[in-house]
Amino acid sequence: MWKLTFFSSILFVICTKVSSHSKCSGPQITKIQTAEALFPYSLIWESSSQSLYYVDFLGSSSNPIIFRYDFEEDKIYSASIAGQQYPSFILPIKSKNKTQNLFAVGVGHFTEIVEWDGRSPTANIVSRLFGVEESDSTSGVATARTSDEGIFYGGTHHTTFCSGPKNSSFYTYTKMKGLQQLFTGTQTTDGLTFYKDILYHFDPCSKVIKQFRLNPNGNISRHNSSQIFINLDTDTDGFVYTNEYGGNSVWKLDVKSHKAEVVAKLPINGTSSFAFGGPNRDILFVSAASTIVDAYTLAAEVISQNGSSLYKVTGLGITGRKYSPLIV
């Protein structure tokens, strides 16, 4: 384990842009619109449609739980999935049928394959990819991501999150080998990203980010660890990014120098997720939740009466990692 050294001052000039006529130097933070979710989560950019997808982690079955922000239209679309609630991730699927818009959505014990045109108010489950820990009523799927090769990696969480036991696990899935457990002994998987053959895994309950080496056979080996906040992403230079849960900052971590710096600071608290996107993947999208849940007591706190928000940060000079669609 190695310790982060935080800079005492922000090294980036943060400018909150309140209108299209505002002029300021340095990175600009623009509020896109209300994110239409209690807890916008698991943001991921999909290049072919130039869209940002995310879920509402606190979404109920009677309300929309999956969302798409259309970059060109500057508009958010959402859909409900009959009988489904509290989704933990959405992953675009690489489909041979170009007319099919398929996604892997994590709900309960299952990763469901969902068809959604990105505009309709309802989406449909067409099949089930796999279930995990189905006999354990205290378990559920957590965050998931795909490697550069389009391979699924994801974890589970205890229903009481950080106040529960350390018996959650981390898995990978391929069509050829099916579901494989890679390690166990965590409480949740809340951050997950890749850089070349490195996998970064974050369990916020232990406040530790673990670094693993991806082996050619798809297995992993322990490499290193560190302490940071929640959610993970990487850029094309190998820097790791994380956001302050419930706070207002996104941080950049240099894994070589063991230092971190703030790259974006929202004008409100409640950061819940982020992702790089845009035509050149140089825009940082950040969501802020209207309701935050304590990871230990599970007490919900409304922190914004105006709903959740979606922001974009431009002018950072950072190019994010390209997200690969899931291959099934």
Q: pLDDT tens per residue, the chain (328 residues)? A: 222 222 222 222 233 333 334 445 578 999 998 878 999 999 999 999 999 999 999 998 889 999 999 999 999 999 999 999 999 999 999 977 665 699 999 999 999 999 999 999 999 999 999 999 999 999 999 999 999 999 999 999 998 888 989 999 999 999 899 999 999 999 999 889 999 888 988 888 887 788 888 876 555 544 444 444 567 889 999 999 988 888 899 999 887 777 888 999 999 899 999 999 999 999 999 999 999 888 888 888 888 888 899 999 999 999 999 999 999 8
Q: The domain spanning residue 249 has which CATH number?
A: 2.120.10.30
In a domain, 232, yes or no: yes
Reported residue count of the chain is 328
Which residue range(s) make up the domain with 30? 5-314
Q: In what order do the strands lie in the sheet with 102-107?
A: 40-46, 51-56, 66-70, 75-81, 122-131, 110-115, 102-107, 89-92
**Is 321 a domain residue?**
no
The whole-model pTM stands at: 0.88
From the list 124, 91, 122, the residue with the least C-alpha distance to 105 is: 91
Distance between CA 215 and CA 180 in Å, rounded? Answer: 14
CA–CA dist 16, 27 (Å, integer): 9
pLDDT tens for 205-243 read 887 788 888 876 555 544 444 444 567 889 999 999 988
| Residues with Cβ within 8 Å of residue 278, at least 6 apart in sequence | 45, 50, 71, 312
* Residue of 218, 133, 203 lying closest to 173 (CA atoms): 218
- The DSSP bridge partners found for residue 67 are 54, 78
User: Could you give the number of structural domains in the chain?
Assistant: 1
* pLDDT digits 0-9 by tens, 45-91: 999 999 999 999 999 888 999 999 999 999 999 999 999 999 999 99
Residue 170 inside a domain? The answer is: yes
Taking alpha carbons only, the member of 236, 233, 235, 192 closest to residue 210 is: 192
pLDDT confidence of residue 216: 61
Q: Which of 192, 42, 168, 61 is nearest to 105 (CA)?
A: 42
Structural domain includes residue 323: no
DSSP state of 93: B
Domain contains 105: yes
